[in-house]
């Protein structure tokens, strides 16, 4: 068995070089080898979205790809979203809309939201909900997440249901 | 997962030459790596085919399209020519998995994904698909996701793909290559029923690589197609029952041609040309659609927990054909009719 393989990544704007076994996932490389632990391991089976990162600007589940398969790619994790102390607009919107409780899914939600905007296929609140469905939030912060994403996208209708307006910090009746 | 070696193939010949015993091709990896983590699949070598020039969507001179094997599901679904000519395929792909997975998963891999039968995934229990001859734990077990058509005493698993249901309805052709040359496989012949060899999902032979999927011209259906998917939650779940319906309706309101394929009910996308033929020359109405449903579901049998499926499938077939007849052109919105 060949021992290790070279993996060169442009990780959050920085050129990084690793030597890893073939069976190391991108998620495990990020967390265990690169020391970048913002990206979370939830289910490790592509069912929860907590491990979502951006590769070449597109969102993927980092648990379902091998690090060696991403050799030479540009990878952005939650650590790479802010510009110094200046939060990315989606990060600021998550704070303002109380879009998390425990926060475990949040790095994946943030990367997924940016991927969603990059992809450009959502133009309504319903489409935002559908195209964010790969990210599970077991605290149920979905109304805040949808409000944050739609606000940053500049969508007019920010609420799921205008008849039941949602206020951050409250429980929708 | 078990230790495995890795090779990035530079061209098709190199990829095929490394497909020895225990080696598997990897493109998106979304299903294979998941199965490797569960020790359901234990390849000794992975041959990465992402560098092969198979990531294209190309037109044919006859008005069809070629879908490269390593083109991503998302890139396929959103391609302007796919949306224009095969809205049914766009809808089916977008009904499956999540945006992250669709960004990774390849077209060839979608065809080759394995069943999500919970017993296939659990290496502690018998499964004829995972370990031939060991028995079927699903029969008499938890069968909500299992087959009602074409099952055998050895396996009642279903094929999990949405994309393949649309490809079946669209009469796609799978092009494969091996060291010995190339061949074509009609989509209806690509996936197989379990019979007494449930370990074989497809008719792809050892040493063969899917290179592309050919879609014949189908503009007659583009205005009257619908993919209806019924599942346990509004998004990101496998189908209990899905229906790919396509109609060619003449100016006189009579059906010229019909296609109906079912997902979630069998070991392969379920089609029956004789049932579709019942609609030819007939008005596109619910009564005639119900006759198609009856014919398609003749012999359907629940396994216990999924005894609701024949009735659900019957209503889903009628509903999908009604929506297709209504001319719902862009049917990719999940909340468009509130039914999926």
Q: What's B20's domain CATH number?
A: 3.30.43.10
User: B299 in a domain, yes or no?
Assistant: yes
Give the CA diameter of chain B: 63
Which tops the pLDDT comparison, B332 or B93? B93
Count: domains in chain B? 2
Question: Which of B3, B97, B104 is the closest to A65 by Cβ?
Answer: B104
User: B112 in a domain, yes or no?
Assistant: no
User: B164 in a domain, yes or no?
Assistant: no
ipTM above 0.90, yes or no: yes
Which residue, B58, B54, B47, is CA-closest to B70? Answer: B54
On whether any CB of chain A is under 8 Å from the CB of B101, the answer is yes
pLDDT the model gives residue B327: 86
Q: B248: pLDDT confidence band, cut at 50, 70 and 90?
A: very high
Tell me which residue range forms the domain holding B24: 5-51
Whether the per-residue pLDDT at B254 is higher than 50: the answer is yes
Question: Which of B5, B29, B101 is the closest to A69 by Cβ?
Answer: B29
User: B32 in a domain, yes or no?
Assistant: yes
On whether any CB of chain B is under 8 Å from the CB of A173, the answer is no
**Scanning the structure block, which residue is given the tokens 């309101």?**
B253
Q: B298: pLDDT confidence band, cut at 50, 70 and 90?
A: very high
Question: Which of B46, B234, B335 is the closest to A22 by Cβ?
Answer: B46
- CB pair distance less than 8 Å for B235 and A52: no
| Chain B nearest C-alpha distance from A20 (Å) | 11
What is the DSSP annotation of A55-120?
A: ETTEEEEGGGSBGGGGTT-EEE-GGGTSBTTB--HHHHHHHHTT--SS-SSHHHHHHHHHHHHHHT
Q: Assess contact for B32 and B38: CB atoms under 8 A.
A: no
- CB pair distance less than 8 Å for A133 and B98: yes
Q: Residue B229, SS3?
A: strand
pLDDT in tens, B32-90: 999 999 999 999 999 999 999 999 999 999 999 999 999 999 999 999 999 999 999 99
Whether the per-residue pLDDT at B333 is higher than 70: the answer is no
User: B234 in a domain, yes or no?
Assistant: yes
Q: Assess contact for B286 and B250: CB atoms under 8 A.
A: no
Round to whole Å and give the CA distance between A59 and A52: 6
On whether any CB of chain B is under 8 Å from the CB of A133, the answer is yes
pLDDT the model gives residue A32: 98
Mean pLDDT of the B99-123 span: 98
Q: Assess contact for B142 and B305: CB atoms under 8 A.
A: yes
On whether any CB of chain A is under 8 Å from the CB of B97, the answer is yes
Interface test with A, best of B26, B99, B332 (most A CBs within 10 A): B99
On whether any CB of chain B is under 8 Å from the CB of A126, the answer is yes
pLDDT the model gives residue B2: 92
- Of all residues in chain A, the one with the smallest CA distance to B47 is A69
On whether any CB of chain B is under 8 Å from the CB of A54, the answer is no
Per-residue pLDDT of chain A in tens (173 residues, 90 and over written 9): 558 999 999 999 999 999 999 999 999 999 999 999 999 999 999 999 999 999 999 999 999 999 999 999 999 999 999 999 999 999 999 999 999 999 999 999 999 999 999 999 999 898 999 999 999 999 999 999 999 999 999 997 655 566 665 555 555 44
Q: Residue B36, SS3?
A: helix
User: B60 in a domain, yes or no?
Assistant: no
On whether any CB of chain B is under 8 Å from the CB of A43, the answer is no
pLDDT the model gives residue B56: 98
pLDDT the model gives residue A15: 98
On whether any CB of chain B is under 8 Å from the CB of A32, the answer is no
Neighboring chain A residues of B160 at a CB cutoff of 8 Å:
none
> Going from the N-terminus, what domains does chain A have, and what CATH number goes with each?
5-80 (3.10.20.30), 81-173 (1.10.150.120)
Q: Considering chain B, what is the average pLDDT of its residues?
A: 95
């Amino acid at each position: 068995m060949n021992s290790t393989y070279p993996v060169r990544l442009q990780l959050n704007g920085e050129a990084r070089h690793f030597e890893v076994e073939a069976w190391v996932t991108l998620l495990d490389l990020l967390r265990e080898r690169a020391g970048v632990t913002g990206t979370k391991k939830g289910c490790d089976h592509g069912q929860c979205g907590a491990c979502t990162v951006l590769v070449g600007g597109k969102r993927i589940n980092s648990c379902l790809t091998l690090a060696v398969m991403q050799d030479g790619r540009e990878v952005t994790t939650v650590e790479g979203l802010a510009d110094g102390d200046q939060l990315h607009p989606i990060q600021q919107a998550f704070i303002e809309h109380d879009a998390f409780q425990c926060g475990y899914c949040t790095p994946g939600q943030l990367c997924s939201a940016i991927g969603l905007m990059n992809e450009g296929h959502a133009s309504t609140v319903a489409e935002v909900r559908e195209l964010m469905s790969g990210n599970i939030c077991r605290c149920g912060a979905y109304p805040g997440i949808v409000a944050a994403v739609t606000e940053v996208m500049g969508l007019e209708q920010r609420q799921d249901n205008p008849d039941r307006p949602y206020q951050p910090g409250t429980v929708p009746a | 997962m078990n230790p495995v070696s890795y090779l990035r193939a530079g061209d098709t010949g190199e990829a095929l030459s490394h497909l020895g015993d225990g080696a598997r091709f990897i493109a998106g990896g979304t299903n294979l790596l998941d199965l490797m983590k569960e020790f359901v699949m234990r390849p000794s070598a992975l041959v990465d085919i992402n560098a092969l020039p198979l990531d294209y969507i190309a037109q044919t001179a006859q008005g069809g399209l070629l879908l490269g094997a390593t083109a991503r599901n998302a890139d396929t679904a959103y391609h302007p020519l796919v949306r224009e000519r095969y809205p049914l395929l766009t809808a089916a792909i977008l009904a499956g998995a999540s945006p992250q997975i669709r960004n990774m998963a390849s077209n060839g891999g979608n065809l080759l994904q394995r069943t999500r039968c919970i017993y296939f995934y659990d290496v502690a229990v018998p499964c004829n698909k995972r370990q031939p001859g060991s028995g079927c734990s699903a029969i008499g077990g938890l069968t909500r996701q299992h087959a009602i058509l074409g099952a055998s005493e050895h396996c009642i698993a279903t094929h999990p793909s949405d994309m393949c249901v649309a490809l079946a309805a669209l009469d796609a052709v799978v092009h494969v290559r091996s060291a010995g040359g190339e061949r074509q496989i009609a989509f209806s012949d690509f996936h197989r029923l379990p019979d007494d060899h449930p370990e074989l999902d497809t008719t792809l032979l050892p040493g063969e690589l899917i290179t592309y999927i050919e879609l014949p011209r189908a503009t007659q259906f583009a205005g009257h197609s619908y993919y209806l998917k019924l599942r346990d939650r509004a998004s990101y779940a496998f189908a209990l029952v899905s229906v790919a319906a396509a109609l060619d309706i003449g100016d006189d309101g009579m059906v010229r041609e019909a296609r109906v394929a079912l997902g979630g009910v069998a070991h392969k996308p379920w089609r029956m040309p004789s049932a579709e033929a019942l609609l030819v020359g007939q008005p596109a109405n619910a009564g005639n659609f119900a006759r198609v449903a009856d014919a398609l579901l003749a012999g359907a049998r629940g396994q216990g927990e999924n005894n609701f499926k024949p009735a659900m499938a019957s209503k889903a077939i009628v509903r999908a054909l009604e929506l297709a007849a209504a001319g719902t052109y862009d049917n990719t919105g999940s909340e468009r009719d509130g039914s999926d």
